Amino acid sequence: MNNLYFKKNQELLLYIEQVKQLAAATRVNGTSFQSNILEQIAARKDELGKMAVVFLKIDKRFKAN
């Protein structure tokens, strides 16, 4: 039972860290946009991954113009 709590805690810590990374990677105040970090987060199969995919698509559209 203790091992299950530890595993869930680790998953939550990773999720929170990736939320922080997503926020930092998408700052659009100059050159802060970091698509390499977003690509790692976009590999997730949850809402956080979907959000990263959206930001990557936006970035691609801006670069095309």
Read off the pLDDT of residues 38-55 as tens digits, 9 standing for 90 and up: 899 999 999 999 999 998
Number of structural domains the chain divides into: 1
Greater pLDDT, 63 or 30: 63
- pTM flag (> 0.85): no
- Domain of residue 28 covers 2-64
Read off the pLDDT of residues 20-30 as tens digits, 9 standing for 90 and up: 988 887 776 66
User: H/E/C letters for each residue in 7-58?
Assistant: HHHHHHHHHHHHHHHHHHHCCCCCCCCCHHHHHHHHCCCCHHHHHHHHHHHH
